[in-house]
Amino acid sequence: MLTTCCPVPTVLASVVTAVPCPENFGQIQKLVFWRSGNTIGSVATAELEGTWTVLLAATGDTKALVSPFVAGASITPGEVRQYGGGNDTIDGIPIIMGSEPSVFEGRMLQYSQETISKLRALACEDLEVIFINENGEFGYRLSGTDDVAGFPIKGFFVSDMAVPGYAEPSYNSIRFMIPAGNMGYWKTSSVTDFALTMLNS
């Protein structure tokens, strides 16, 4: 449900008027999953290889898992949810109710189905995701003052293997949804030299 602004603030909230630095995450190449509720205490800590060595080797609820490389990855924002129009609402103007979830989609090319089956088992988990781009930067959700959190995901799905034929490689599709509103907390870390080479323990 869209937040109802009542009462309306006395003054319009201030926004940045100077030209900001552009923000562009680039190509998503890998995903890191962990159970919902996990965080890293600061961005500086998340940018240390040793932090992830511990998380990937953990044997309890703090364990993180890194995905295979994902091609053709994209996050599509959710469409508006609205009611009315025509004679159902005043002046035919729909009432904005909120938005649909954002949708992540990608393909894992030429991976063994043993690897894929282990990834598919994550559908039973309550997960969060952190994204890694081609520069080894982490795309994460800001939680609290400085905590690095993942984006909550729902509807996690990994397809059976597609065999498109002579001119294209076999692949498995991956898809999940990020509930509306979460992408507004997106932050990007500094470049790292280890994120794309991390391996599961």
Question: What residues have CB less than 8 Å from 53, skipping those under 6 apart?
Answer: none
Residue 31: what residue type? L
pLDDT in tens, 102-129: 999 999 999 999 999 999 999 999 999 9
Tokens linked to 14: 């201030």
Q: Kindly tell me the sign of the dihedral angle through the C-alpha atoms of 102, 42, 144, 60.
A: positive
Give 64's strand partners: 34
pLDDT tens, position by position, 3-24: 677 888 888 887 777 777 788 9
Q: Across the strands, what pairs with 99?
A: 80
Identify the pLDDT of residue 168. 96
Whole-structure pTM value: 0.92
Q: What ranges do the domains of the chain cover?
A: 28-197
Mean pLDDT of 162-178: 97
Give the long-range contacts of residues 55-61, CB within 8 A, separation 24 or more: 56/198, 56/199, 56/200, 56/201, 57/201, 61/35, 61/37
DSSP 63: -
CA distance 140 to 41: 13
Exposure of 127 by Cβ count < 10 A (0-12 exposed, 13-18 middle, 19+ buried)?
buried
CA 92 remoteness from chain centre: 36
Average pLDDT over residues 159-183: 97
Mean of pLDDT over the chain: 94
